[in-house]
Amino acid sequence: MAWEKLPAIEGGPGGCPHCGYQYERLPMAAIIAVGFGDARLTKDGSIVYSEPRDAQSEDEFMTAEQAEALARQDPDHDWRIHLVAPLSERHYQRQGGNQWVLYEKGQGFA
């Protein structure tokens, strides 16, 4: 393993108390999109996918399951999903098959 495995943190609410639960392990059905803000998949810090700004439906967004499929093809890298929105920010690192672990959360922007 050539990348640093970051320590997992607890999920739960963060930022706005009304923004809902932040998963400690990202469900494979989760979409990589926030609407207003920035959502992306990175590999060793380089952007592999960024939420399309002109999407007409959820079908155009990548899911965590699709990100996992890409990461499985090239697993010896630091794969991360970043979800930054108003009043909510979550960052996940892939730490094994179907294991996208929350390593950072914050209050987002606004």
| pLDDT tens-digit map of 1-14 | 689 999 999 887 65
What average pLDDT does the segment 47-61 reach? 91
Domain that holds residue 88: 1-110
- What's the distance, CA 2 to chain centroid? 21
Q: Which range among 6-20, 42-56, 87-101 shows the weakest confidence by mean pLDDT?
A: 6-20
Residue 94: predicted pLDDT: 98
Q: How many domains does the chain have?
A: 1
Residue 87: predicted pLDDT: 84
The strand pairing partners of 63, in sequence order, are: 31
User: From CA 25, how far away is CA 86, in angstroms rounded?
Assistant: 21
The strand pairing partners of 106, in sequence order, are: 89
In sequence order, the 6+-apart residues with CB closer than 8 A to the CB of 93 are 5, 6, 78, 79, 80, 100, 101, 103
3-state secondary structure of 30: coil
Q: How far is CA 89 from CA 56, 76, 82, 83, in A?
A: 24, 26, 8, 6
User: From CA 91, how far away is CA 93, in angstroms rounded?
Assistant: 7
pTM of the shown model: 0.91
Check pLDDT > 90 for residue 38. yes
